[in-house]
Chain A
Amino acid sequence: MVLEVLNQLASYQGFIYSILFLIAVLFWFNLKNQGKEDLFKLKNIVTFSMLLGLVFIVRAFAFFPSLDVVRVPLQSSLQFMILLGLVAFTSREFKINSNQRKLQVEGLLDISVDNPMKDEIDRQIIMPEIRRLEREKKSLEKERTKMRVEKKVIDESSKKLNTRLEKIKEERKSFRDRERGLSKERLSLEQKKEAADVQESKIKSERKKLDREEKNIRPRLDSLREKENNVLDDLKQRTKKVVNLEGDLEDKKDEVEDLNSQIESEKKKIEKSKQNLESENKKLKTLKESLSNDKIFIKQEEKRLNKNKDKLWVDQDRLYEDKEVLLNDKESFNNLKFKLKQREDKIISLEDEVEDKKEEVEDLNSQIESEKKKIEKSKRNLESENEKIEKIKQKLELEFKKLDSLKESLVYGRSLIKQEEKDLNKSKNRLLKDQDTLYEDKEDLLEEKEELNNLKLKSKLREDNIIKKENEFYAREDELEEERDNLEKQNKKLKKEEIRLEKESKKIQDMRKKLDGDRKKYKDIDVKQNKLNRDSSRLDSYRSTTNKDKKTLENEWKKLKLKRKQYYDRLDRLEDREEKFEYEREELKLQRRKSRI
């Protein structure tokens, strides 16, 4: 039941909506005939969409199922055709309108094309944008100056660091040289020590030799004494035995006494030499003791030197560590430098971009100025046209007033005619004449009315032109909106760049902090350097003391050498004397033999 009712309703309503569609189609075509379709840019689209109503009019005939064989294909084909046309026209008009829009947008940028909107765009959009850009430029310049100052500071700090590094290197070199000198001195001291040991051993051996010689000389001296005694005994015996030869012998006795005195004196000399030897032995002992003391002192110094050496090695390790740290810092610093250079390049590129933008802005300014001039010209033209329109309006008002006055005069004339008809039948001819004149006036009025209608049409045409201009104005407004969007995008880009610059400034601040930390490290290194200098001064003092000791040892060594020479000289003299003594003895023996003979 419900279905049947709904079917009936649908069939009735099909007719209703077909009527509605028909009304709409007719209404649209009526409007088209009136010339209101010009308001639309998409008029063909509207006509095709209205024609879609025909499909539903055909659809309404579903009430007759016998017509379905014709209706359904007709409906679908009609629908297809209309929709195809709709799509074709919409695409075509879309393309045309987009091209027109493009041309309008290009016309805004073109200097040769007059466009009153350009002035407003310049005033309201481009000028504030230029001001904003100038502000940004100033801020960028400030940032640039800041960056330059920071760069200078960083360069100075890098120079200082480099000088410090060079100083540290030089100090390291000097420290190494000192170390080498110390090692050389140590070696020389060791060599001297060895030489002193060798000399000691030589002295010992010489002493032993002297002892041996002493031992060898003593029995000789004893034997000489014994021989003397024997000789004296022999002489006594011989004096006893040879009394006669006493006179001769007394001389010889004197000689022998002389010889004895000589021998005694020699004995005394030998004793003295013995004493000297003993004193030399004592001196040698004292020297030995002093040498042992020196050895102990040298050992102590060696220990100290070893300790200092260990300290120095530790300091050297620290220095190497510091060097590695410094090299790492230098690498990081070089990396930072490289980054800074990259940032500088970026800033330079940004500055170039800003300069390009400036140039673009200047070009735009020049364009704007030219467009301003054109706009002023067009304004003047518009104002003159407006003045003309106002004049025409005033004329029209005057004519309307004249018409009103003429109407009033007509009414007055008719009343006069009626009065004259009533009062003066005689003056019919005059009235007829007046009527003719009135008809003529009427004709003039009709002509004036036609003229007024023409003026109205002209004013309508002007209004249409004004409406078209309004439409153009709206188009320019849309273009302005698009430009605003573009400018907002540019704004966003610039903000992003600002954020990036802020990030870079933060990075630079972090780098500064790192540099401060490096400076602190360098200060610590300076403290270590001072410690090293103190150690080196201590070492120098030790060196000076060792040099003094060395000098004293050398002097003592020279003295020993001199003593040795003197000893050898004495030994030579003694040997010479011994030889002389033996020679004299032999002579004495020969004399004795001769005397015996």
Chain B
Amino acid sequence: MINEILFGVDTVSFVLIITAIFLMIKSKKFEKKESIKEVLNLILIGLFFITIVIAFDLSSSLNIFESIATKLEIIPFDLFYLGIELMIIPIAALSFLVGLMHLRESNQ
């Protein structure tokens, strides 16, 4: 029951992050400075990677990739999942950081 509720919350949060990205892209034009636009782009990249992570969480709870991986006999899903966790989440964090650094530099 709890797992099902958590799955529902995750799906809603996935939809929310997609709408947030869409709204951010739409409201990006209100920013005038190119440097701030670049910062926002970096933050958007970070958010995009976070959405990928959320999507993988959802797929792991649905066992989609596991079934695909077992059918295709390519790589075990755990390896794939761990590889993504290893690659994507640090990239998102780094994009946030780089964006903030860029903001600081541009203001100086």
Contact = CB atoms under 8 A, between A and B. Distances in A.
A15 to B, nearest CB: 11
B6 interface: yes
A41 B30 contact: yes
Contacts of A149: none
Contacts of A23: 97
B8 to A, nearest CB: 10
A42 B30 contact: yes
Contacts of A224: none
A52 B50 CA distance: 9
B96 A3 contact: no
Interface size class of A (residues with CB under 8 A): 35 or more
A424 interface: no
Nearest to A97: B30
A79 B36 contact: no
Contacts of B13: 76, 79-80, 83
Nearest to A81: B13
B103 interface: yes
A93 B10 contact: no
A46 B43 contact: yes
Contacts of A470: 32
Given A10-B85, A20-B94, A52-B47, A39 B103 contact: yes
Contacts, number: 135
Nearest to B78: A3
Contact of B6 (A13, A50, A72, A93): A72
A525 B39 CA distance: 85
A31 B26 CA distance: 25
Contacts of B97: 20, 23-24, 27
B74 to A, nearest CB: 15
B92 to A, nearest CB: 8
Contact of A50 (B26, B96, B101): B96
B79 A39 contact: no
A483 B72 CA distance: 55
B4 to A, nearest CB: 12
Interface stretch (A84-92, A113-121, A139-147, A554-562): A84-92
Instruction: Say whether chain A's binding surface is mostly helix, strand, loop, or mixed.
Output: helix
Contact of B46 (A31, A41, A49, A73): A49
A42 B40 contact: yes
B33 A474 contact: yes
A20 B93 contact: yes
Interface in A18-54: 20-21, 23-24, 27-28, 31, 36, 39-42, 45-46, 49-50, 52-53
B82 A6 contact: yes
Contact of B96 (A53, A87, A471): A53
Interface string B20-45: 10011011111111001000100100
Given A97-B30, A478-B29, A45 B90 contact: no
Interface string B90-108: 1011101100110110010
B79 A36 contact: no
A46 B44 CA distance: 10
Given A83-B16, A90-B20, A42 B76 contact: no
A42 B94 contact: no
Given A40-B36, A94-B23, A80 B16 contact: yes
Contacts of A45: 20, 24, 27
A36 B90 contact: no
B19 interface: yes
A472 B42 CA distance: 24
Given A3-B76, A83-B13, A474-B32, A10 B82 contact: yes
A101 B30 contact: yes
B47 A49 contact: yes
Contacts of A39: 33, 36, 103, 107
Contact of B90 (A17, A40, A84, A477): A17
A56 interface: yes
A69 to B, nearest CB: 9
A7 B76 CA distance: 14
B69 interface: no
Contacts of B94: 20
Contacts of B83: 6
B31 to A, nearest CB: 6
B12 interface: yes
A33 to B, nearest CB: 13
Interface string A408-427: 00000000000000000000
Query: In this complex, which of A14, A16, A52 has the most chain B Cβ atoms within 10 angstroms of its Cβ?
Result: A52
A555 B84 CA distance: 135
A42 B24 contact: yes
A93 B27 CA distance: 8
A354 interface: no
A9 interface: yes
Nearest to B27: A94
A27 B100 contact: yes
A24 B20 contact: no
A13 B23 contact: no
Contacts of A36: 103-104, 107
A203 interface: no
A77 interface: yes
A50 B24 CA distance: 14
Contacts of B54: 79
Interface string A53-69: 10010010000000000
Contact of B86 (A13, A31, A72, A100): A13
Contact of A2 (B2, B79, B104): B79
6 contacts: A3-B76, A7-B82, A80-B12, A83-B20, A90-B20, A473-B32
Interface of A: 2-3, 6-7, 9-10, 13-14, 16-17, 20-21, 23-24, 27-28, 31, 36, 39-42, 45-46, 49-50, 52-53, 56, 59, 72-73, 76-77, 79-80, 83-84, 86-87, 90-91, 93-94, 97-98, 100-101, 470-471, 473-475, 477-478
Interface of B: 2, 6, 9-10, 12-13, 16-17, 19-20, 23-24, 26-33, 36, 40, 43, 46-47, 50, 54, 76, 78-79, 82-83, 85-86, 89-90, 92-94, 96-97, 100-101, 103-104, 107
3 closest residue pairs by CB, A with B: A474-B32, A20-B93, A90-B23
Given A9-B82, A39-B36, A53-B93, 15 more contacts: A6-B78, A6-B83, A7-B82, A9-B86, A10-B82, A13-B86, A24-B97, A40-B31, A42-B27, A52-B50, A79-B10, A80-B9, A80-B16, A90-B23, A474-B32
